[in-house]
Chain A
Amino acid sequence: MSTMTLNAGPAAAVGDSTAEQNLVNTKADIKTVGSPFCDDAKLRMRNVNVFYGETQAIHDVSLDIGRNQVVAMIGPSGCGKSTFLRCLNRMNDTIEGCRVEGELSLDGDPIYGAKVDVVPLRARVGMVFQKPNPFPKSIYDNVAYGPKIHGIASRRAELDEIVENSLRRAGLWNEVKDRLDKPGTGLSGGQQQRLCIARAIAVSPEVILMDEPCSALDPIATARIEELIDELRENYTIAIVTHSMQQAARVSQRTAYFHLGKLVEVNDTETVFTNPEHELTEAYITGRFG
């Protein structure tokens, strides 16, 4: 294969139709390779299609996310990673014109369907967003927000305990224990993101979805969060979208590679990064596009 990049411009596309060009252009017949299914699946997704109005953003994706597993989702920008992730806790419901088809279930309970109540579902499947989004409230109230609305704690002491525990697990307790009543928006970016993680785990979800949680952070804050993800794996199932291959390699057990709305390859993280099965995956991880 040549070393030419894929987006080398129209001249290259017309003049020299390389194997890679063909790869990208053959959108129609991408079949998922590797091992998308596992025995002990926490989340099961079968034949998922997502549409934004007329345009289809996700094409026939089937994937399992195993219990207490970290699954990384990688792929070029616009390939549908966020869209897919947001299907798992129905955050796509908030987007007008977005339609989700397919079978999705959490521990065997369906995620979509007329009878499903999204409120308890989202309490079971928490989410951490790309940009830290603490509420303009005190640090304490940020973490206590979830337990309060779900009636998890009945007494103040219980609530205090949940807040402290969540902040400890998010590795933020020591930094903020003296200023719990200060606004959460006054923290640094990395601290804010850990606050958001604490806020998410305060409602004791079963699954945590993370959409590029470190993209707004510096390397040190990133390292702390990666450490945290590793610890959280003991109790939670985690799906993380990331643009950093190193991050995917460091924190995840399995890696899913998306391309143009299709799931190209799912394998053990090690396999994906050392010996990818699909040539598109190889092209992406060796940095030839994306």
Chain B
Amino acid sequence: MQTPTLFALLLLLILVAYGTGFSRAIGAARSRGGIRSLASLPSYYGVHTALWCGLPALVILGVWLAFDDAIIRALVLGGVADRPETLSGQNLLYAQIQNLAAGSLVGESTPQLAAAAAHLNSLRQSGQWLQTALILILAVGLGAYALMRVTPELRAREKVEKVLRVILLMCACAAIFTTVGILMSVLFESLRFFQAVPVTEFLFGLHWSPQMAMRADQVGSSGAFGAVPLFTGTLMVSAIAMFVAVPVGLMSAIYLAEYASNRVRAFAKPLIEILAGVPTVVYGFFAALTVAPFIRDLAQSVGLEASSESALAAGLVMGVMIIPFISSLSDDVINAVPQSLRDGALGLGSTKSETVRKVVIPAALPGIVGGVLLAVSRAIGETMIVVMAAGLAANLTANPLESVTTVTVQIVTLLVGDQEFDSPKTLAAFALGLMLFISTLILNFIALHVVKKYREQYD
């Protein structure tokens, strides 16, 4: 039986197990005088039976699928008399065998290959049979076993909840392990990079041009890996973005939370939040094709020199992108300021704006700061807009009309195209990623801390 069919059948079996467990529990309850005589509700007996039926079978199926191919491959290759020594040779051979087995080999085949292909096919077939039999026997057997155990004394709920807890724990662990895994890989690759390029040069170098020579005699054979221009570029673009987003976002939040009538709020708030749903690519070409030329023309008309890709264009558009972030987070914290504070201020004869400025905003400030910090990490991580609108040149400049580049953009450019995976050029991406990770981590940490402080004040 094919795996998908088997899987569907298994699901069906689980359903059946649930149903029979459920009705058996009710049957058992009837002879004892009602559902109250059961240790748990009937549905827990159903779930208990279904878990016994399905969980081990699913786990075994998963393990099987994970190792199936590797085992068959080892067996098939083991059967070939003069197999190549190298891994790539073996890969090639195995691919040929697979193609032949599937009947799509281009080129001629040898008897040896044909034999191997036949071997492969027979292994696959018997593997399939074995799999089907094993899974079905497991499911039916364990399901029946659990069904036998359905008695009023069985504490099905406790067992089910224990299993559920383990499943939840495993999901949480999966997320944590992924994070740790990514972090480790970034860390180790960065360490390799720092063996080729000293840390001090990376952190304090003022020149970034990561071209590595393919051949030793090429001109400019060594790259320069000073990351300072990237970080200043990132800083400048993010700063411009926050310069736009914080005042506009905050004030629109104040308007929505304090001044807007319910009707205005009901349509304005979703409208602002639509901004957050626009894909960043769209912002990117808007910045590159509309805003950047406009800024260049404007600058030229007042006699300034401006390149057609500028930090200003990218920053402005990124700021617009971040507005809904800040406005909706601030709107939430402003709404969370207790009405009693506003009443207190108004009752003393404050005007509306005095109330907002002197009581509501100071009270909401920690929450707003937290929101802004989260937005900053968003700005630092943003790539698409900068790629399109700010350019790729790693200029060390304080002039927002020049083109700059950012950490994320450089990571992208380092990795596009064909690359060797152990040249410093590629590894530099990991080092940049690590720096980015550390800085956003610190920002998020501060933000969460500030927000938590704020919560404590009002709970």
Contact = CB atoms under 8 A, between A and B. Distances in A.
Interface stretch (A5-13, A29-37, A121-129, A264-272): A121-129
Contacts of A146: 348-349
A137 B344 CA distance: 13
A123 to B, nearest CB: 4
B350 A149 contact: yes
Given A136-B457, A149-B358, A185-B457, A122 B346 contact: yes
B419 interface: no
Interface in A117-147: 118-123, 126-127, 129, 131, 133-137, 145-146
A137 B347 contact: no
B359 A135 contact: yes
8 contacts: A94-B343, A118-B349, A122-B349, A129-B347, A135-B362, A136-B341, A136-B363, A145-B345
A254 interface: no
Interface in A137-182: 137, 145-146, 149-150
Nearest to A93: B346
Given A149-B348, A200-B348, A203-B348, A94 B342 contact: yes
Interface in B370-400: none
Contacts, number: 67
Interface of A: 89, 91, 94, 96, 118-123, 126-127, 129, 131, 133-137, 145-146, 149-150, 185, 196, 199-200, 203
B348 A122 contact: yes
Contacts of B340: 129, 131, 133
Nearest to B261: A96
Given A96-B262, A136-B363, A136-B457, A150 B349 contact: yes
A115 B452 CA distance: 46
B148 to A, nearest CB: 53
Contacts of A126: 347-348
B354 interface: yes
A196 B457 CA distance: 18
B120 to A, nearest CB: 73
Contacts of B262: 96
B38 to A, nearest CB: 37
A149 B363 contact: no
Interface SS of B by simple majority:
helix
Contacts of B346: 91, 94, 122
B351 to A, nearest CB: 6
Interface of B: 261-262, 338, 340-351, 354, 358-359, 362-363, 457
Nearest to A185: B457
A54 B343 CA distance: 24
A203 B348 CA distance: 8
A89 B347 contact: yes
Given A129-B344, A200-B348, A203-B348, A135 B354 contact: no
B349 A203 contact: yes
A200 B345 CA distance: 10
Nearest to B366: A136
Residue of A91, A94, A136 contacting most chain B CB atoms (<10 Å): A136
A196 B358 CA distance: 17
Contact of A120 (B349, B354, B363): B349
Contacts of B341: 133, 135-136
A133 B338 contact: yes
Given A129-B343, A129-B347, 17 more contacts: A91-B346, A94-B343, A94-B346, A119-B350, A126-B347, A133-B343, A133-B344, A135-B341, A135-B345, A135-B359, A135-B363, A146-B349, A149-B354, A185-B457, A199-B344, A200-B348, A203-B349
A122 B340 CA distance: 16
B384 to A, nearest CB: 40
B364 to A, nearest CB: 10
A108 to B, nearest CB: 20
Given A136-B457, A149-B358, A123 B338 contact: no
Contacts of B348: 122-123, 126, 145-146, 149, 199-200, 203
B360 to A, nearest CB: 10
B354 A91 contact: no
Nearest to A124: B349
Contacts of A129: 340, 343-344, 347
Contacts of B349: 118-123, 146, 149-150, 203
Nearest to B344: A133
A91 B339 CA distance: 12
B365 to A, nearest CB: 9
Contacts of A122: 346-349
Contact of B347 (A91, A120, A131, A134): A91
Contacts of A119: 349-351
Contacts of A131: 340
Contacts of A135: 341, 344-345, 359, 362-363
A255 to B, nearest CB: 24
A139 to B, nearest CB: 14
